[in-house]
Amino acid sequence: SSGMGALLGIAGSASVAADDLVLVATQLPASTSVLFLMADELRRTVFMDGLLCIGGPTSKIFRLPPALSSGSEGTAMLGPGLVALSNDPLVPVPGGIQSGDTWYFQTFFRDGSPCGSGGNTSNVVGVTFTP
């Protein structure tokens, strides 16, 4: 409904020790609900008005709390602190994010377009974490 596809990017580093990675979703519809998701595998499945490109037959999809709003600018950010968050009991990632792991991130957002099913996804960003 914004006229552009949502775009997920990153800022900061992939260092586990620094834990300063930030997920940045832009080009979202204004003031909509946004969820950040992570999984350790890729896939391509039609999902609502987009594609769910994370998770696979042997992989769970983890939702990173909290649910956020895109605000009037159509932007949402999560982080820093993703490594610590992955070890939180609310996000039961087995073993959390470790150095050498590759994790894939994607956003899901509510989209009130009258032509769709009410939700869409962004692109995927893959991150291989370092010490």
Tens-place pLDDT, residues 11-50: 999 999 999 999 999 999 999 999 999 999 999 988 888 8
pTM here is 0.92
Q: Please give the pLDDT value at position 7.
A: 96
Cα 21 to Cα 26: distance, rounded to the nearest angstrom: 16
- Report the mean per-residue pLDDT for the chain: 92
Would you place residue 2 in the very low, low, confident or very high pLDDT band (cuts 50, 70, 90)?
A: low
